[in-house]
Amino acid sequence: MLEVIGVGFGRTGTVSLTAAVEELGFGPCYHLRKMFERPEQVQIWRRAGRGEPVNWNQVFDGYGSSVGWPGTRFWRELVHWFPQAKVVLTTRDPDLWYDSAKHTIFDADLVPPPGTVESHLAPMMSLVEELIFDAVFDGRLDDPDRAIAAFNRHNDAVRQLVPAERLLEFDVTQGWEPLCHFLDVPVPDRPFPRRNDRKQFATFIQAKRRQLSADDIAHRTSAPPRNDGIA
């Protein structure tokens, strides 16, 4: 059952927040990277995108928190489904956010279209395109004004819907104190995690593509030979 729901857009410090809530005992945390480890859930997320009923307890079975996409795409549903969970909205200067997104998650060289990637990766990239790039940004990732407008609309909607006592607006540069105070846990005696800068993001994507490509080759070479009825 989720105890913490992070509803900020990607590139607002969501990977750092993921590491932080896990260190504070609210793990494991579901993040976009976790989806790459659970490809069997792609169809569940796709059903959610079509507005079909989803058992969120099943999706987040075994998780103590969710941060960033794909959960953020359905933040209203999650806030309603888990009424006891505290909500963290990671924030960032909108222009700095877009500049970071443009060079990472919106970069086709790093996050290629589904039709150009290995077969094991394609369903997940298709889901990212469908649920985030198209549904949130109307596919206009190269338009900073439209993207920033979507970013601001999202943050304003969270502020309006989530009761103040459940919501923390958090800039990860603030460190442990406001987060720990909000979650009512002691402040750790170690630095706040700083994760997923542009270089780390590129390294992760490249490593994941290599891994899935190797898995794809192994799957195809281990598959039984086809019987075409030819002796």
d(CA 88, CA 156): 13
The amino acid sitting at 227 is N
Angle ∠(33,128,208) on CA atoms, nearest 5? 40
pTM score: 0.83
Angle ∠(19,76,137) on CA atoms, nearest 5? 80
Residue pLDDT tens, the chain, 231 long? 999 999 999 999 999 999 999 999 999 999 987 877 787 888 999 999 999 999 999 999 999 999 999 999 999 999 999 999 999 999 999 999 999 999 888 875 545 555 555 556 677 778 888 999 999 999 999 999 999 999 999 999 999 999 999 999 999 999 999 999 999 999 999 999 987 555 555 555 555 555 555 555 454 445 454 444 433
Res 186: pLDDT: 98
Question: How is residue 121 written in tokens?
Answer: 């990766």
Q: Residue ranges of the domains in the chain?
A: 4-214
d(CA 18, CA 20): 5
Q: How do beta strands 29-30 and 86-90 pair?
A: unpaired
Supply the DSSP string of 113-153, one letter for each residue: -GGGS-TTTHHHHHHHIIIIIITTTTT-TT-HHHHHHHHHH
Cα separation values, 227 from 16, 188, 217, 230, 231, Å:
50, 61, 20, 7, 9
d(CA 178, CA 156): 20
d(CA 46, CA 52): 9
> Is 47 within 8 Å of 54 (Cβ atoms)?
yes
CATH of 4-214, one of 3.30.230.10, 3.40.50.300, 3.40.50.970, 3.30.450.20: 3.40.50.300
